[in-house]
Structure 1
């Protein structure tokens, strides 16, 4: 198949999103982008970039304001700001990093990053990064306020005209599965003994559990299943009373976080959206198979969240009340979440929140 021509035909027929066009053609988005390496002016163009991704991202601050985009199959998270305070640790090929800017807040798992491109189509310019199958892990878009001289210099410095085409993996890695013989009582005791939300990942690993199975095994005072439309109710409530929240959306390569208030919440077809000037969220509400209200004990008191899961058990998104370490969560957030839970066990502990 001539992917360039097939893409041009799809565009002419009114298709807009690269991912959707790639799916319609039976390829991944990375394969579609790579097919446009060296394409002539006037349409989609791509250049491969050198694969030192931690260093590349560390230089993005020179370009000033950019838009960070991270998605999974059911949710897109877009945040405008500056890539600041980048850090990385770990051996080459297994690096983990963070971006802790005022606006752009990322957790980066570079072992899942395989290929990157500088992409241009019309006036839109971006850097796009994909896993070994060609599934997007993260994208960076130039914005009107971007410092374009620095952006162009960065693109020129990082493109690699001699890079060989990638050898895409055609089979995705197997999905996570639960270990046999789960110690449910030990897991519940470990949950009750948590003192930091980050300890939860280690708890899952020790007991060989996926997140969704953990929800089903949890004691009722720590996890309650709620209506799958709860995210809409929470977002509308947070917007109405100006409760600042945190929105986590990720894939194996990146977790992207918004922290702060939201203003405009709107349903557009099946999509639940936040449409603010510097933060956009696009969530397929019809893809939510399960929604859970979750509590984790910490040294700062209970930390509550809403977690959304797809039919295959993958985590779609998480919502928290915004807070800093050392601070209890806001009562306004807890009240929004508590209102979604029917079981009275959940509401027994109401102390330990901040006005």
Structure 2
């Protein structure tokens, strides 16, 4: 479909459904969000910044105070702050370890970057090879606008926009967890050892949780009410948490207390000054309390999954390596478990 035809179709759709967001328009038209940005649909004005995503990302700190947005189909995570301690090189994995903006990057399928203006909001947006939005960086009232315009000037590209690719990965996991899984789980020294363990045995994360034993992973009843209960409790008690939301290319993390909660239809929202979370609770198919050993003691998380087995979001008590888990968080996780968790 050529860009002018796409723009006409998008405008026709918005005439009948004027409140649709650009991602919803893309889904309804069966195109990528990048297609709509390139065609300048939905009130968008865009500038193609090329494919030097690493170089552009390393300069995000120049913008000063911004809002970082990462989403998956079921949850949106928005965090205000500065990009600090950016480590993005030639390696396929990168980091941002700022006081407020905390990211884990998986760069293998990143591709294009665009400067986007829509409804007086300005942003830098990163897309994967399939045209799916990975990460968006929005200007705020405190942003260095001169640095933003300089970034656009330095990277505005006349090269052809690369064609979209199908990067869908169809995993063929083993159907059962091995008998050794539990022993290797119990021997972990760091919570980050868990993903390599799944890779070693080629098992889906949910298969591992279901096979480990109730003292290591428990599936909870009524997941929608559970997550609302947990977030309400942490807000009321000012218990600091960590909230991880990601997609295949990037994980964004909030660390700290939350305060203002609001339900809007299926969406349960955190609406704090520097952190917003929008969670579609209708999409939660299961919730698990997961218990992992580490050098700092046991670490528990609350994990939410959609019906296809993809993780929606993950919650911990706030902690840093070298520090034990917050006792208040541990007690909160124990309170929603029907059976004891391993603690020796």
Long gaps (5+) in structure 1? none
Partner of 1:63: 63
Q: Does residue 77 of structure 2 align to residue 80 of structure 1?
A: no
SS in structure 1 at match of 2:246: strand
Runs of 4+, deviation exceeding 2 Å? 5-13, 88-91, 174-177
Deviations 1:250-276 (A, max 9, x none): 111100000000001111100111110
Number of equivalences: 338
Report deviation, 1:309.
0.7
List aligned pairs for 1:318-329, cutoff 5 A.
318-329=314-325
Partner of 2:211: 217
Report deviation, 1:172.
4.7
Deviations 1:271-312 (A, max 9, x none): 111110100001110101110000100010000000111111
Aligned pair in 2 of structure 1 residues 12, 148: CA closer, same or farther (>3 Å)?
farther
Partner of 1:52: 52
Deviations 1:157-207 (A, max 9, x none): 1221x12122112x4513433135x55221111101111001111111111
Long gaps (5+) in structure 2? none
Q: Does residue 179 of structure 2 align to residue 176 of structure 1?
A: no
**Aligned counterpart in structure 2 of residue 143 of structure 1, from 134, 140, 153:** 140
Q: Does residue 281 of structure 2 align to residue 277 of structure 1?
A: no
Measured in 2, the distance between the counterparts of 1:136 and 1:256 equals: 14
TM-score between both structures, scaled by the size of structure 1: 0.91
Aligned pair in 2 of structure 1 residues 309, 45: CA closer, same or farther (>3 Å)?
same
List aligned pairs for 1:154-165, cutoff 5 A.
154-160=151-157, 162-165=158-161
Partner of 2:238: 242
Q: Does residue 286 of structure 2 align to residue 290 of structure 1?
A: yes
Q: Does residue 13 of structure 2 align to residue 33 of structure 1?
A: no
The Cα RMSD (Å) is 1.7
Partner of 2:150: 153
Which segment drifts farther, 235-244 or 208-217? 208-217
Aligned pair in 2 of structure 1 residues 336, 303: CA closer, same or farther (>3 Å)?
same
Measured in 1, the distance between the counterparts of 2:89 and 2:49 equals: 22
Task: Answer whether contact 2:75 2:312 (CA < 8 A) is retained.
Answer: yes
**Aligned counterpart in structure 2 of residue 197 of structure 1, from 191, 200, 219:** 191
